[in-house]
Amino acid sequence: MALIPTPSQTVGPYFAIGCAPGNCDSLAAPDAAGKHIVISGRVLDGDNAPVPDALLEIWQANSYGKYAHPEDTQDKPIEPGFRGYGRIPTDDHGKFRFRTIQPGPVPGPDGKPQAPHLEVSLFARGLLRRLVSRIYFPDETANETDFALSRVEPQRRGTLIARKMPGQSAQFEWDVILQGAGETVFFDC
């Protein structure tokens, strides 16, 4: 490799002016196949204070477990109404909320399917480099053998699994704790 990669730098506090045109908190067209869900949560710092200037980006497969990308060569349908990308800023209280569909399982490098998950990039003032995490779903037996989850110490795996909202089968909560007790697991990506 001949060229040194360009280093990351923080998005700073003013990213909203540059990124607003690309914001998208509704990832799925109404007719997209699969279970339509809402995921919401908060981003909290090491003092448990809300982070009002964070930006989440989501990347995920559709309900068949197919990514809308040329390198996903699986024989599964791509949907015109589902691109799999979302971008959601936190509000003044550090909260975010987006609508999507629950993804299907995608293949893992060990030949086993990965448990259904969303990829998350988190940007914020104070982060010199994005943080990468994943959102998994509760009650999925595939979580127990998942390629990425199995690399995480058992007591921290829960930070990657969304919570069901009582009485709401299509609503999930997932918080990001940047630092300290209950710190969310972040991956080197």
Partner 1 sequence: MTVASIPGYRRAGQGQHPVNAHAAYASSLKRAPSQPLIHLPHTLSEITGPTFEHFPDDPKAADLTLGRGGQAIGERIVVSGRVLDEAGRPVRRTLVELWQANAGGRYRHLVDQRPDVALDPNFDGCGHTLTDPEGRYRFVTIRPGEYPWRNHYNAWRPAHIHFSVFGPAFATRLVTQMYFPGDPLLPFDPIYNATADEEARKRLISAFDWESTIPNTALGYRFDIVLSGRDATPMEL
Q: Closer CB to partner 1, residue 70 or residue 167? A: 70
Distances 93 to 42, 76, 108, 180, 184 between C-alpha atoms, Å? 8, 40, 36, 19, 19
Least distance CB 186 / partner 1 (angstroms): 5
Q: 116 and 103 in contact (C-beta within 8 Å)? A: yes
Query: How far apart are CB 137 and partner 1 at their closest, in Å?
Result: 15
Q: Which is nearer to partner 1, 46 or 138 (CB)?
A: 46
C-alpha distances in Å from residue 5, one per residue of 2, 97, 125, 129, 133: 10, 33, 22, 13, 22
Return the number of the residue (33 or 132) whose C-beta is nearest partner 1. 132
CB of 130 or CB of 164, closer to partner 1: 130
Give whichever of 34 and 171 is closer to partner 1, judged by the CB atom.
34
Cβ 176 to partner 1 shortest distance, Å: 10
- Report how far apart, in Å, the C-alpha atoms of 105 and of each of 52, 58, 165, 166 are: 32, 16, 22, 25
Cα angle 128, 55, 59 (rounded to 5 degrees) comes to: 105
Rounded distance, CA 80 to CA 12, Å?
Answer: 34
Shortest CB 168 distance to partner 1, Å: 26
Return the H-helix or E-strand segment holding 125: none
Q: How far is the CB of 40 from partner 1 (least distance, A)?
A: 21
